[in-house]
Structure 1
């Protein structure tokens, strides 16, 4: 017996939110029925905008967390139910399956929870020509889905579909970088690849080796490790310093779980900030314009290297929308996020070679482009970074901080007229950063102080966490300001 369900009702009942680029929630809540419903809703919307029809292809891939195989099976069943031709790419990075779909003009989806712990997972959806944007999300949430009688009483498939043959999305993804940068781009460099549980760990090592570097494999784990490129774990900070000293490395490369966010350490074992990596990558590729969230390092504007910069809310859909506007204005544009994920909106050219646009978050391009630029100039990574204006960012989070509490805190802080808000912010944060002079409500609450320090509070969009971003004139000051802000907020009464 079939039943018709509304996606909004499934969201409310399951607690699995559908937001930026897809669905994400607790593994226990992401039943087969929920995942099946969201995938059908996605394909129904793709059909309405001409990106899918029965008999056409749909690409799918996943990361290495334990729940991914089951969720992929539910998504495969949904693709079959919708009449799609399944193209299973197996376990490859998010940008690899997206690029595979874009090249063939078919929608794709990636089962991944990105950087969050493995008690959670998600499904990221891509159109046939780019990431799902905010209007697409709204349309998917508005869908009603007719469910077949395939599920048991607790929402699990009674029989999972047989796993199909795997399409190799890794080969063109690797070739993308080898063909553009060339086999000598990193020649003579000794590079570590911190593999942990990233789905692209072997692909990354293959690319770096193919570009001429000597590769040292580090920290491979069969247990999922939630590496967050915006809030690097203390143990990873120590490991990087240990590894560069032990092996004499020029740099260490890594990514988050689905390998769409980069993590690059310099020759001192210091992890570079993703927003600094974005500036250096845009410079290396000689791009004219940049779209990036309001939380990214202001050295971007201070560098005076770009014709136009557009600041957005945090999240790749917002960055893509702004990047598309820049492209429409005829500018060679890119986008990046503070987590380092780099979106190439226009083809890049160098030495007679062309790198095709890839308008989705990618981890490989910013790391390889910046390493190749440093190599070509005969500079270390730290020396290359030192050429930028000296602005430093730091980010961390309060985990287990309810989303409702985060929103309530920010609502209290920004209530009233501007003068009253600045007085309140100075009273609360002044002992940390002095007088508050401006604030920005683009995404959360971003406060600039008289001496140039910045404190930015923002509720996480995919986990019960409060994100705290800070910026200052030195790295130590940005880090200490962040730690002090976290401690202050942690000790605030819930209604203060």
Structure 2
């Protein structure tokens, strides 16, 4: 696939490697090769340097297969492995930097169900890899020369468990919350998606003084993201109301993104979080870059909200890694996605659902206002996203689809916008329409999706 910069990658998508567990590319053989290739790509010339990699995972059953396969690959190339077990993705990025490791690996398929798994890689600086580096790793995997780079017997790597990894992350996350504030008196529902944050998230909130009502904290290898978490926040919303809570937090399977609910159970998405934090940080003189980085999916209401405050909104391709890259290039310290990835580069190199929630809680505590008054920063334009699943080649290049896209764009010209793209993690075409006129938006979206579904149906029947 094209990462958006003219670099073609076949194995890596918009967020690492992902697929159905025990099926290529998410089977043990590919994981071993990936570990070997990544070790070679990050091997230093200094013969005295002892190479190290940090490996974390979420709670999927298949993690027990992928973790040892990756470990074997790294060890075979002379790289020591530090295993930390189930921890959020941002914890792996943080530990990679803190431990001066050469590489960090997170085994997770994020918000997907347990049948899927994925592998995310971080460089020694804790940032996700560039398209160029991922393409180089793929080249090494396909080149057939990895056997020439195997370590001699006396120089094989070793594996060990880092027993205090969770405690290190807990302290790092708590340090992002103002030291002068506490969460005393606040009742907080936190849905951990039966995923990577099932232990650390309730602990962090409780240690800062909150009364915590934990949900989905009993992972069994199969129930990650099942009817819970940031993609299915209904139970969290209901519990906020039922428990008389002040705020609800729903994380995804690897806790790098979140969705909130105010005290009335109303959902707060990533665009509202970006608006809230941008406004608070700008007033405090903490916002760098003169604005926020978001993706093409972010609502036009966010753009107008920022413009009214003299702040810019820079858009990137969909994918938090592209947001992070632009933040680094242009000196921004706040960026994210509507889906709930919020990157606060003063604190972390990737999205961190817990740290983002703590920034919102800081505003709630400082102002003394309820979440409903704090979190609804702007009125979003009507926006709809439709996912169309396909089995074979993406239908976007079909002449009928291209004509339909042109007609849809013409209908929305000056009144809204259209975004159509292939998913980087699933066999889906994602179609998003946005307009002030909701009826127009729905008509345009229905017509375009109808054409795409017809083309897919015809091709699959052929």
TM range (shorter): 0.7 to 0.9
Q: Take 1:229 and 1:276, find their aligned partners in 2: how far apart are those partners?
A: 21
Equivalent residue, structure 2, for 1:57: 52
Q: Take 1:43 and 1:197, find their aligned partners in 2: how far apart are those partners?
A: 31
In the TM superposition, what is the alpha-carbon distance from 1:67 to its structure 2 partner?
0.2
Aligned 1:162-201 pairs, distance under 5 A: 164-181=160-177, 182=179, 184-201=181-198
SS state of the match for residue 351, structure 2?
strand
Equivalent residue, structure 1, for 2:337: 337
Q: Take 2:353 and 2:387, find their aligned partners in 1: how far apart are those partners?
A: 22
- Which of the residues 204, 209, 212 maps onto 1:207? 204
Structure that is richer in strand per residue: 1
Equivalent residue, structure 2, for 1:135: 132
In the TM superposition, what is the alpha-carbon distance from 1:278 to its structure 2 partner?
2.3
Q: Take 1:118 and 1:193, find their aligned partners in 2: how far apart are those partners?
A: 20
Equivalent residue, structure 2, for 1:85: 80
Structure 1, 311-320 or 385-394: larger mean CA deviation: 385-394
Contact 2:396/2:402, CA 8 A, preserved across alignment: no
Q: Take 1:306 and 1:17, find their aligned partners in 2: how far apart are those partners?
A: 41
Pair 1:277 & 2:287 matched: no
Q: How big is each residue's C-alpha offset from its partner over 1:448-479, in whole Å with a ceiling of 9 and x where there is no partner?
A: x62x4x443222111112223344559x9899
Q: How big is each residue's C-alpha offset from its partner over 1:141-193, in whole Å with a ceiling of 9 and x where there is no partner?
A: 221354669xxxxxxxxxxx997333432222221232332374322211111
Aligned 1:234-383 pairs, distance under 5 A: 236-237=233-234, 239-286=235-282, 287=287, 288-303=290-305, 304=307, 305=309, 307-327=311-331, 332-345=332-345, 347=346, 357-383=347-373
Contact 2:75/2:158, CA 8 A, preserved across alignment: no
Equivalent residue, structure 2, for 1:446: none
Pair 1:467 & 2:461 matched: no
Pair 1:407 & 2:406 matched: no
In the TM superposition, what is the alpha-carbon distance from 1:423 to its structure 2 partner?
3.5
Distance 1:51 1:119, change over 3 A: farther
SS state of the match for residue 20, structure 1?
coil
- Which of the residues 36, 39, 42 maps onto 1:46? 42
Q: How big is each residue's C-alpha offset from its partner over 1:82-133, in whole Å with a ceiling of 9 and x where there is no partner?
A: 1112111111111001101012332110111111122221110000012111
In the TM superposition, what is the alpha-carbon distance from 1:320 to its structure 2 partner?
2.0
User: RMSD value over aligned CA atoms?
Assistant: 3.5
TM-score (norm 2): 0.81
SS state of the match for residue 115, structure 1?
coil
Pair 1:436 & 2:436 matched: no
In the TM superposition, what is the alpha-carbon distance from 1:326 to its structure 2 partner?
1.4
SS state of the match for residue 269, structure 1?
coil
In the TM superposition, what is the alpha-carbon distance from 1:366 to its structure 2 partner?
1.6
Q: Take 2:109 and 2:253, find their aligned partners in 1: how far apart are those partners?
A: 8
Q: Take 1:486 and 1:69, find their aligned partners in 2: how far apart are those partners?
A: 42
Contact 1:116/1:228, CA 8 A, preserved across alignment: no
Pair 1:101 & 2:99 matched: no
Consecutive unaligned residues of structure 1, counting only runs of 5 or more, are 1-14, 150-160, 348-356, 427-434, 438-448
Pair 1:18 & 2:20 matched: no
In the TM superposition, what is the alpha-carbon distance from 1:337 to its structure 2 partner?
1.8
SS state of the match for residue 55, structure 1?
coil
In the TM superposition, what is the alpha-carbon distance from 1:247 to its structure 2 partner?
0.7
Q: Take 2:95 and 2:248, find their aligned partners in 1: how far apart are those partners?
A: 27
SS state of the match for residue 372, structure 1?
helix
Task: State how many pairs are aligned.
Answer: 426
Equivalent residue, structure 2, for 1:217: 214
Contact 2:259/2:268, CA 8 A, preserved across alignment: yes
Q: Take 2:385 and 2:268, find their aligned partners in 1: how far apart are those partners?
A: 12
Contact 1:396/1:482, CA 8 A, preserved across alignment: no
